[in-house]
Amino acid sequence: MRVVAAMSGGVDSAVAASRMVEAGHEVVGVHLALSQSAATLRESARGCCTIEDAGDARRVADRLGIPFYVWDMAERFREDVMEDFVAEYAAGRTPNPCLRCNEKIKFAALLDKALGLGFDAVATGHYAQIVQAADGRRELHRAVDAAKDQSYVLGVLDEDQLVHAFFPLGDTTKPAIREEAAARGFSVAKKPDSHDICFIPDGDTRGFLAGRLGEQPGELVTTDGEVVGTHAGAFGFTVGQRRGLGIDRSRLDGEPRYVVDVDAPTNRVVIGTAELLGVRQITGEHARWCGPVPIGTIRAGAQVRAHGEEVGCAAYQGPAGELEVTLDAPIRGVAPGQSVVLYDGTRVIGSATISSTRAHPQSR
């Protein structure tokens, strides 16, 4: 097969590309330029997509003896990921930019371009597995290395996209990948992983948002409406947050307080005690299915964070396309804008963007 290997410049994508070459595929390495003003050096372990990263990817491609190209997708990334990220926070929601990047960039823009150029598939360094089912369908499954499993952020892929996807690392642990990279002579074998949000390399999400949305002074209030503090913008808060609230604790009883709601229209951040964070009912929109659309109510496992706990649930897709999920046990700190991903054992069933939550399940 003719395969585009997405090469970020890190150890994972390097080994993924080498495994595709070793498997006998005709491989071309592609580095995605996602920043319109890429930094020259990768000064910390947080960021990625620097000129240094592109150079690291090129050196691996040279060692593998495969063609290497840089594809400029900075404008598409800015529109579909960064602007979406800012708009979601401005609306009081908590987005996951990694899911959006996989959906809109790596398995839409990149895959579409690859197919248009005559390639058969895209391979990435994600930790997940594709399993061939008895009926011939390609299923998305969790990785062997639970600590590195990235199936959650791939839950936005549909059945057609999985046909054209390879995840060569899913059957291997991260330490073994580094050992393999060293054995192959890759200079990136000990390169630190990137963390957090790639376009916020310093990790200051609130500062990033403030720079784009400006300060928007507002009130911190209790669930009874009592003002107990102020803030510089509701966009800087998310449901479940405890630190950095700026609360006047002299007006409280000493019990910890958490963000329980972000009211964007009024620019108010509502705080409350821990018991108010438990969610039993989730409604999702923009459902994406990794296989056939489930019929009727199904039993599944629900996960709302990349490495969060999986909780048993009953789920069904309503007549308007909405996904209704009733959890067997409450999950704390679930915010609109996050994604709920459904599992059947290790298999990913699909996902949806959370639009609303309730503390108590409602009967249909």
Residues forming the active site: 101, 198
Residue 301 forms beta bridges with which residues?
312, 343
Geometric angle at alpha carbon 22, from 21 and 27, rounded to 5°: 10
Burial of 247 (0-12, 13-18, 19+ CB in 10 A): middle
Rounded CA separation 332/364 (Å): 23
Tokens linked to 1: 């097969």
Residue 4 forms beta bridges with which residues?
28, 122
DSSP string, 47-81: ----HHHHHHHHHHHHHHT--EEEEE-HHHHIIII
* Side chain identity, residue 162: L
Burial of 37 (0-12, 13-18, 19+ CB in 10 A): exposed
CB neighbourhood size of 324 (10 A): 19
Give the list of residues 6+ apart from residue 182 with CB closer than 8 angstroms, or none.
189, 190
Tokens linked to 17: 């590309």
